[in-house]
């Protein structure tokens, strides 16, 4: 069962300490309001922490400081969807301040200073190449990479959005689809993979499932993502849009919001609701 909570105010230190105590055995996913960027924290009942993207600046440190008790500086897994600054920018400080045990990413990006800086971190920290069919799991949790289909051999690409890591996380039986900034072309490729895998018996196909309870809408609600066919196949009950208030891109675009509403998907937006917490109960 999913419970949705929206953060509307800041609690004081004692209140947060009390919440840490209460959340010791609570599985949840928090979609952070990091402005015009993406960042989400998955917390398992066993207090494993998985961070997907880090927004564009140090805002994510403030968010993590509220979510993690002061005595816990461990993040078990960081997943970077791609190297655009609104997804990777905050991770530089996260890796410096926290003990990050594992990283999943493509290892590629656009030819930029941001990508070069990230690749330097990967050389120091090591990482696991994101590729469809790879997964990580713990008690009550599993994350399957759905895209890209193959390991990327080149350090640089023309558009990092085109290689956004798409993944599906299952937390106590409830499923979350993370899209990064993937375009409709990449969505179509994932649909093709699912069709190709049906009945194939290939080992990596066994966990290629798209149907999900929660969809993190692609590219901040841009019209370049969330095609009708993709939405129909994922079939979420709730959609999360991460976008900055009054951003100059006009995200989320009206046609995407209307499409979600036509499919009777509940739409939650960080630009309107702030942090969005999905509590997963058995």
Q: Distance between CA atoms of 3 and 195, rounded to whole angstroms? A: 32
For the chain, the distance separating the N- and C-terminal CA atoms, rounded to the nearest angstrom, is 6
Q: How far is CA 194 from the centre of its chain?
A: 20
197 pLDDT more than 80 = no
- What per-residue confidence (pLDDT) applies to 4? 73
Query: Tokens 């949705």 label which residue?
Result: 4
**What domain range is 73 assigned to?**
2-280
Digit-coded pLDDT (tens) for 216-271? 999 999 999 999 999 999 999 999 999 999 999 999 999 999 999 999 999 999 99
Quickly list DSSP for 116-184: HHHHHHHHHH--EE--TT-EEEETTEEEEEEE-SS----SB-S-GGGG--EEEEEETTEEEEE-TT--H
In this prediction the pTM is 0.91
State yes or no: cis peptide before 148, omega within 30 of 0. yes
The pLDDT of residue 198 is above 80: no
Give the chain's domain count: 1
Q: What is the predicted pLDDT for the residue at 7?
A: 56
pLDDT exceeds 90 at position 278? yes
- How does pLDDT run across 16-74, given as a tens digit for each residue? 444 444 445 689 999 999 999 999 999 999 999 999 999 999 999 999 999 998 888 99
Per-residue pLDDT tens digits for 107-164? 999 999 999 999 999 999 999 999 988 999 999 999 999 999 877 767 788 999 999 9
Residue 17, domain CATH: 3.60.15.10
Q: What is the sign of the dihedral through the CA atoms of 86, 106, 110 and 249? A: negative
What is residue 24's predicted lDDT score, i.e. its pLDDT?
53
Predicted confidence (pLDDT) per residue in 169-181, tens digit: 999 999 999 999 9
Contact 7, 253 (CB under 8 A): no
Query: According to the model, what pLDDT value does residue 20 have?
Result: 45
């Amino acid at each position: 069962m999913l419970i949705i909570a929206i953060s509307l105010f800041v609690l004081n230190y004692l209140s947060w300490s009390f919440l840490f105590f209460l959340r010791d055995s609570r599985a949840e996913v928090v979609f952070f309001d990091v402005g015009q960027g993406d960042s989400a924290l998955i917390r398992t009942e066993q207090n494993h922490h998985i961070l997907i993207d880090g927004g564009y600046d140090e805002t994510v440190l403030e968010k993590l400081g509220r979510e993690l008790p002061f005595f816990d500086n461990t993040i078990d897994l960081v997943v970077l969807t791609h190297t655009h600054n609104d997804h990777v920018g905050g991770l530089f400080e996260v890796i410096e301040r926290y003990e990050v045990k594992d990283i999943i990413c493509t290892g590629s990006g656009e030819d930029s200073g941001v990508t070069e800086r990230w690749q330097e971190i990967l050389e120091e920290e090591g990482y696991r190449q994101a590729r469809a069919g790879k997964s990580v799991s713990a008690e009550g949790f599993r994350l399957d990479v759905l895209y890209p289909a193959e390991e990327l051999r080149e350090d640089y690409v023309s558009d990092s959005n085109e290689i956004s890591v798409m993944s599906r996380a299952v937390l106590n039986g409830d499923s979350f689809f993370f899209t990064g900034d993937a375009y409709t072309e990449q969505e179509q490729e994932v649909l093709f993979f699912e069709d190709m895998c049906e009945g194939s018996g290939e080992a990596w196909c066994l966990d290629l499932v798209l149907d999900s309870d929660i969809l993190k809408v692609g590219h901040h609600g841009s019209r370049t993502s969330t095609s009708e066919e993709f939405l129909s196949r994922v079939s979420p009950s709730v959609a999360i849009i991460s976008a900055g208030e009054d951003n100059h891109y006009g995200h989320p675009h009206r046609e995407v919001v209307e499409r979600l509403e036509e499919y009777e998907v509940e739409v939650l937006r960080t630009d309107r609701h702030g942090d969005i917490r999905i509590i997963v109960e058995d």
